[in-house]
């Protein structure tokens, strides 16, 4: 997982503001078949930037023979803050169960 975070951070055009692990891996109830769910909040969610991030994470999975799938969810900073203000359940679950991977605390 740290390789996936490093791959995301190396994409300087992405300008990630927040990276959060969520889902079964964050809750501690993942199985060997579980995917790894990661939220990336970007300054902008322009399609080429998001595609570059997905490619970077795909490369990490490729290097590890797809032993674990990594699912990426992306939001622009603006959209994430809006959903947070409106109390969307996805964001509430992130706040309750998510583990912040970057910026490191």
Please write the tens of the pLDDT for every residue from 8-23.
Answer: 888 757 788 999 999 9
- What stretch of H or E contains 7? helix 2-10
The per-residue pLDDT for 12 is 58
The helix/strand/coil state of 105 is coil
Residues 94, 63: Cα–Cα separation, whole Å: 28
Q: Domains in the chain, ordered, with CATH?
A: 2-102 (3.30.460.10)
Could you read off the pLDDT of 32-72 as tens digits, one per residue?
A: 999 999 999 999 889 999 998 899 999 999 998 998 999 99
Of 14, 19, 98, nearest to 51 (Cα)? 14
pTM of this structure = 0.88
């Amino acid at each position: 997982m740290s390789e996936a975070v490093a791959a995301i951070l190396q994409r300087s055009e992405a300008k990630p503001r927040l990276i959060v692990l969520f889902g079964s891996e964050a809750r501690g109830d993942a199985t060997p078949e579980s995917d790894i769910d990661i939220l990336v909040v970007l300054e902008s969610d322009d399609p080429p930037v998001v595609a570059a991030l997905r490619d970077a994470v795909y490369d990490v999975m490729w290097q590890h023979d797809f032993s674990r799938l990594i699912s990426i969810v992306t939001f622009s900073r603006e959209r994430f803050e809006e959903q947070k203000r409106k109390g969307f359940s996805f964001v509430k679950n992130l706040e309750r169960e998510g583990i912040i991977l970057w910026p490191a605390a």
